[in-house]
Amino acid sequence: MRIIRNYFYTAGYNLLILLTPLLTVPYISRVLGPTGVGINATTNSIITYFLLFGTVGITIYGNREIAFIRDDRAQRSQTFWEIEILQLVTISCAYLAFLVFLMFEHQLKIYFFYQSFYIIAGAVDISWYFMGLEDFKKTVLRNMLVKVASIIAIFTFVKTAQDTGIYILILAGSQVLGNLTLWPYLRHSVAKPDWHHLRLFRHLRPSIALFIPQIATTVYLALNKTMLWQMDSLTAAGFYDYSDKLIKLVLALVTATGTVMLPHIANLFMKQQLERVRQYLYMSFDFVLAIAIPMALGVAAVATTLAPLFFGRAFSAVDQLLMIEAPVIILIGMSNVLGQQFLLPTKQTKTYTISVTVGALVNMACNIPLIWLWGVAGAMLATLISEVCVTGYQLIVTRHSLKTRNLFTGALKYALAGAIMFAVVYGLNITMAASYLNLAMQIGIGALIYGGLILILQPPVLANAAKLRSRVH
């Protein structure tokens, strides 16, 4: 079935984006040290703002619009060119603003310049088009080659703490190259534009409507590192960044459903198949709980060993941060289903905007006192509180469209299986010697315990999987 296939493609794509820096973490953390890692984290968080304002919500908007009209090649082609040219215009404006910023920046100027290649990558990013078509295979396979090449380049050229700039340049440059590799596929899918009837700016207002929640989401993710830099240190920003990277790696598997289901739900919504929309949402929410709960508890269970073993002794403080942030995996998983898989594709943009804006405001309000009291642990706690608010609000506003009871049908069974798994794995983690072999053994034992209990408890995810499998055959 296309949804299952696309889920694995998307999970692979999300993992691929995060895997390049994460695979190199044990090496980079030792070579560059906390200061070098902090420089990368801080400069990248600032560049994120320029990239965000350059894309003005076009990525999500383009995905949804292509899904709405994907069966009409002529209309689809014209819409693609209108959105992409608009993206080139807005990204160019963002890059000019960045150059003005660079004139006044002296401390980390060269590192900011290297990071600016991410902005250029945004201008040529057309992954939204293929996602709107529910064609994820091309994106994954082409980017895989580029990411592997970047990993080889990192181990080849990054040798000392003075190579921080080279490390940033490799990561940013690979993003540009990866995006460019998708363009050759357009010739089989997109017709030439009708230049006389291009209406670029008809897309600006609706994309800005999606831009507002994107701002809120990105701001409260990037704001923590920026505020840690100003209120604490570059080292604290580096600790936060590495903890967040590992959590985001796990989240890539959980939130892959959002990328897959957004265009699918949008297409069903345009065809007025509302009951099918609800059924897919219930199944997706249950699946997310089934994988997010054990992943969150699993990360928390092995955090004490995982942080110093994986990142190095200089990053031993990350273990506490991982335990604080682990519940975010469950919260973001739920809000991803409610927000990206339901509110956005069914054109409830205003409601979605309010939910993520609430999260951003709560995060900013909590950051100052919590960072002042507990430093980087306080920033992590602020993130957790903000995600609780986002998910809570979305559950409240969708209660009339989606039955809450149907969303949480299997939650208690997943929580019970996850809690038993956590108790066993955490006990092993604090008693066994720290080694990669023991860590792999603990993860394997945890997976066996959770999987075995799921087979005994028979939650809905098993029945849903059987339904999907029967449709395939």
pLDDT, tens digit, 9 for 90 and up, residues 276-308? 899 999 999 999 999 999 999 999 999 999 888
Amino acid 289: pLDDT: 97
Tell me what pLDDT residue 117 has: 96
**Cβ-proximal residues to 438 (8 Å cutoff; 6+ apart), any chain:** 305, 428, 432
DSSP string, 373-439: HHTHHHHHHHHHHHHHHHHHHHHHHTTTTS-HHHHTTTHHHHHHHHHHHHHHHHHHHHHS---HHHH
Among 305, 308, 326, residue whose Cα is nearest residue 316: 308
CA-CA distance, 304 to 429, in Å (whole number)?
7
Q: Report the alpha-carbon distance of residue 328 to residue 350 in Å, rounded.
A: 24
Across 238-254, average pLDDT: 85
Helices in 158-233 by DSSP H: which ranges?
A: 164-180, 204-231
pLDDT value of residue 102: 92
Q: Is the pLDDT of residue 6 over 80?
A: no
Mean pLDDT of all residues belonging to the chain: 88
Give residue 438's pLDDT.
95
Check if the beta carbon of residue 255 is closer than 8 Å to that of residue 14: yes
pLDDT at 8 over 80: no
State what percent of residues in the chain have pLDDT above 90: 46
Q: Distance between CA atoms of 174 and 168, rounded to whole angstroms?
A: 10
pLDDT of res. 161: 86
Report the pLDDT averaged over residues 184-205.
Answer: 87
Q: Is the pTM of this model over 0.85?
A: no
Q: What is the average pLDDT across 249-261?
A: 84
| Res 473 pLDDT > 50 | no
Rounded to whole angstroms, the Cα distance separating 134 from 262 reads: 9
**Closest of 257, 279, 270 to residue 339, by C-alpha:** 257
The pLDDT value given to residue 136: 78
- Cβ-proximal residues to 359 (8 Å cutoff; 6+ apart), any chain: 216, 217, 220, 386, 387, 389, 390
pLDDT level of residue 471 (50, 70, 90 thresholds): low
Task: Report d(CA 318, CA 304) in Å as an integer.
Answer: 9
pLDDT, tens only, 92-102:
999 999 999 99
Tell me the torsion sign for CA atoms 177, 155, 145, 9. Answer: negative
Q: What is the mean pLDDT of residues 55-74?
A: 87
Element (H, E) at 80: helix 73-104
pLDDT score of 157: 93
E strand or H helix at 443 = helix 436-457
Residues 172 and 113: their CA atoms lie apart, in Å, by 10
Burial of 61 (0-12, 13-18, 19+ CB in 10 A): buried
pLDDT over 70 percentage in the chain: 96
pLDDT band at 223 (very low <50, low <70, confident <90, very high): confident
Token readout for 71 is: 């069966």
How far, in Å, CA of 62 to CA of 259, rounded? 13
Q: Which residue has the higher pLDDT, 431 or 213?
A: 431
Other CB atoms within a 10 A radius of the CB of residue 146 amount to 19
State how far the Cα of 432 lies from the Cα of 455, in Å rounded to an integer: 28
